[in-house]
């Protein structure tokens, strides 16, 4: 027997086995359709999982939902195994970019009346 004939016989056997396996799989009854298993929602025990599920269900609106943003940051913190924050830092008062500049040029207080320039400021 030469190599070509042996290769053809092997290919035929392979195709026959594949067709037989497909036929058996198609005729087998689906085990889950006979007795439906009670599936619990994944967030039943963990409130974070429930919130993440809710956020995934609302779609794109989740990117603007503060609850979703908080849940995603907590999930990210848990995933990266970072320690929980002890407390929120106190808000920092905004600082002026140029503290030595006169108040008349303060961009935050644009409605303030401008002051007269001193002789050293005029050039």
The encoded tokens of residue 56 equal 């995934």
Q: Which of 28-32, 33-37, 44-48, 116-120 has the highest mean pLDDT?
A: 44-48
Compute the average pLDDT of residues 86-111: 64
- The pTM is what? 0.36
- For the chain, domain boundaries: 43-83
Given a cut of 90, whether residue 75 has pLDDT beyond it is yes
The two three-digit tokens of residue 26, written as one number: 């198609």
> What's the rounded mean pLDDT across residues 47-57?
93
Confirm if 72 and 55 have CB atoms less than 8 A apart: yes
Q: What is the pLDDT of residue 34?
A: 52
């Amino acid at each position: 027997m030469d190599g070509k004939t042996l290769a053809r016989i092997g290919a035929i056997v392979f195709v026959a086995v594949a067709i037989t396996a497909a036929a058996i799989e198609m005729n087998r009854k689906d085990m889950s359709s006979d007795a439906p298993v009670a599936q619990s929602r994944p967030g039943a025990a963990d409130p974070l999982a429930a919130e993440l599920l809710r956020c995934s269900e609302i779609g794109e609106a989740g990117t603007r939902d503060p609850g979703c943003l908080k849940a995603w940051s907590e999930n990210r913190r848990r995933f990266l195994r970072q320690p929980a924050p002890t407390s929120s830092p106190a808000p920092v008062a905004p600082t002026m970019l140029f503290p030595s500049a006169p108040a008349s040029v303060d961009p935050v207080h644009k409605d303030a009346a401008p002051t007269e320039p001193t002789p050293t400021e005029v050039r």
